[in-house]
Amino acid sequence: MNNITLAPVQTDQPSHLMPVFGRQPISFVRGRGAYLYTEDGTEYLDALTGIAVCGLGHAHPVIAEAIAEQAATLIHTSNLFEVPWQTAAAQKLAEVAGMEEVFFSNSGAESNEGAIKIARKFGHMQGIASPKIIVADKSFHGRTLATLSATGNKKVQQGFGPLVEGFIRVPFGDIEAIEEAAINHPNIVAILVEPIQGEGGVNTAPQGFSYLEEIRQICNQHNWLMMLDEVQTGNGRTGKYFAYQHTNIVPDVLTTAKGLGNGFPIGAVMTQGRGVGVLTAGNHGSTYSGTALGSRVVYTIIDIMQKENIVANAAEKGAYIVEQLRNQLADHQVTVRGFGLMIGIELPKDCGELVDIARDEYKTIINVTAGNVVRLLPTLNITQEQADQLIERLVKMIKAYLA
């Protein structure tokens, strides 16, 4: 802890922050690997990792060293100039993502904004004046005006109308609804979906990942862009570098963020196939797109993931956790689902209060989505000991809660 400056604690001062977050009554001052610590040194097992962000854990020494070295060298010059680390990071990301073009954004929402712009430009290039994009119920794509309009959750849209037009909503996993939309809406140019709906309850389509293969066929048939939102499912989270790699298809547009920067705010929108060359000079941009610092972080994280076989560990430990939870909770009307270390435990009743119980009684950080789904997003480099620790705490807590 030597030479580390902690943020001052001002418990007796009014907050000047906009009250947009429902904060829990706790704060953490440091982290190490899979654990977070309060100011008094109390240790918490982090099974949420900043909502699928810190895949390599907290205060990873190699990432910390890269950030410190780059911050002391050069943080930002703007895209008026060549940024060598940006070029290197784009090459590395394109290789693991199976894509051709990369644009670095600052968040998942901005990445999805970029995808929406690509779809609209793609439509206009074909003479379609009012292009439409198919999106899914219960989806979550962000909180900017366009992305919350694409999101299939009326709660996040409430109070922000009029929403952005141009989205056609269908039930998640319903191929017939997509085919019907194709008949009724001649101006469709793209489909935007999540391979797994994270905020919607860790939902996969009823037919599994073959849903993506069916969407690919429809997009090919109609000359649409297939666009995947892998903000949460990307960067090793599901046991593949990107979730679509559980199939044999490749999307035209791929978005990501969260684990891409391990806590550093950066995202990306990528293209291949029909998506290549749609955006040209002057069509898109961002002041902070691919800074030297952010790009070096991305490059460093991918390098660590490759050298340490992190994705394979996520697949192995995730399968183990799911199997153990299913076995040990078999008699409690609980459904456990997920891929890799993106896991949902669906309880037979609403369980939002388990967030507080897990934190206060079991010193474990989780969250609950869709009302009754405990969502687990632990570190991708979780050890066997930590996995067993997490399983033990969760099983004990859920059994007590359902008793």
Tens of pLDDT, residues 128-148: 999 999 999 999 999 999 999
Residues 182 and 284 in one domain: yes
- Residues 322 and 291 grouped into a single domain: no
Are 131 and 115 in contact by the 8 Å Cβ rule? The answer is no
Same domain, 288 and 313: no
Q: Which two tokens stand for residue 266?
A: 């950066």
Are 241 and 314 spatial neighbours (Cβ–Cβ below 8 Å)?
A: no
Distance, CA of 112 to chain centre: 11
CA distances from 313 to 116, 263, 302, 309, 340 (A): 34, 20, 15, 7, 9
Q: Structure pTM?
A: 0.95
Q: Which residues are annotated as a binding site?
A: 108-109, 140, 143, 229-232, 286-287
Cα–Cα distance measured from residue 147 to residue 157, given in angstroms and rounded to the nearest whole number: 10
Q: Tokens 């009684």 appear where? A: 361
Instruction: Write out pLDDT tens, residues 186-196.
Output: 999 999 999 99
Of 288, 308, 328, the residue that ends a domain is 308
Chain position carrying tokens 């989270």? 237
Residue 98 burial (C-beta neighbours within 10 Å; 0-12, 13-18, 19+): middle
In whole angstroms, give the CA distance from residue 208 to residue 195.
9
- Give pLDDT, residue 378: 98
Q: What is the pLDDT along the chain (403 residues), one digit of tens a residue?
A: 456 677 766 667 788 999 999 999 999 999 999 999 999 999 999 999 999 999 999 999 999 999 999 999 999 999 999 999 999 999 999 999 999 999 999 999 999 999 999 999 999 999 999 999 999 999 999 999 999 999 999 999 999 999 999 999 999 999 999 999 999 999 999 999 999 999 989 999 999 999 999 999 999 999 999 999 999 999 999 999 999 999 999 999 999 999 999 999 999 999 999 999 999 999 999 999 999 999 999 999 999 999 999 999 999 999 999 999 999 999 999 999 999 999 999 999 999 999 999 999 999 999 999 999 999 999 999 999 999 999 999 999 999 999 9
Return the C-alpha torsion angle 288, 292, 295, 300, nearest 10: -150
Same domain, 287 and 158: yes
Looking at the domain assignment, is residue 11 inside a domain?
no
Q: Which residues are annotated as a binding site for pyridoxal 5'-phosphate?
A: 108-109, 140, 229-232, 287
Q: How far apart are CA 140 and CA 126, in angstroms?
A: 28
244 and 372 in a common domain:
no
Rounded Cα distance between 308 and 61, Å, is 14
> Does residue 314 form part of some domain?
yes
Q: Is residue 95 part of a domain?
A: yes
Residue from 392, 243, 238, 403 nearest 334 by CA: 403
Statement to judge: residues 225 and 357 lie in one domain: no
Range of the domain at 356: 30-61+309-402
Distances (CA, A) of 235 to 172, 298, 321, 362, 365: 23, 10, 19, 29, 21
Helix axes 354-362, 384-402, angle to 10 degrees: 120
Cβ within 8 Å of residue 368, ≥6 positions away: 351, 352, 354, 355, 374, 375
What sign does the CA torsion over 394, 397, 402, 403 have? positive
CATH number (domain holding residue 86): 3.40.640.10
Of 272, 288, 308, the domain-final residue: 308
C-alpha 189/C-alpha 31 separation (Å) is: 45
Same domain, 272 and 223: yes
Quick check: is 21 in a domain?
no
CB atoms within 10 A of CB 205: 21
What is the distance between the alpha carbons of residues 259 and 256, in angstroms, rounded to a whole number? 8
Whether residue 348 sits in one domain with residue 335? yes
Query: The domain that contains 334 carries what CATH number?
Result: 3.90.1150.10
Are 288 and 332 found together in one domain? no
Give a yes or no: residue 24 inside a domain: no
Q: What's the CA gap between 343 and 238, in Å, rounded?
A: 9
Number of structural domains the chain divides into? 2
Q: What is the Cα–Cα distance from 237 to 314, expressed in whole angstroms?
A: 7
Q: Are 101 and 284 in contact (CB under 8 A)?
A: no
Q: Which two tokens stand for residue 346?
A: 């669906």
User: Could you tell me which residues are annotated as the binding site for N(2)-acetyl-L-ornithine?
Assistant: 143, 286
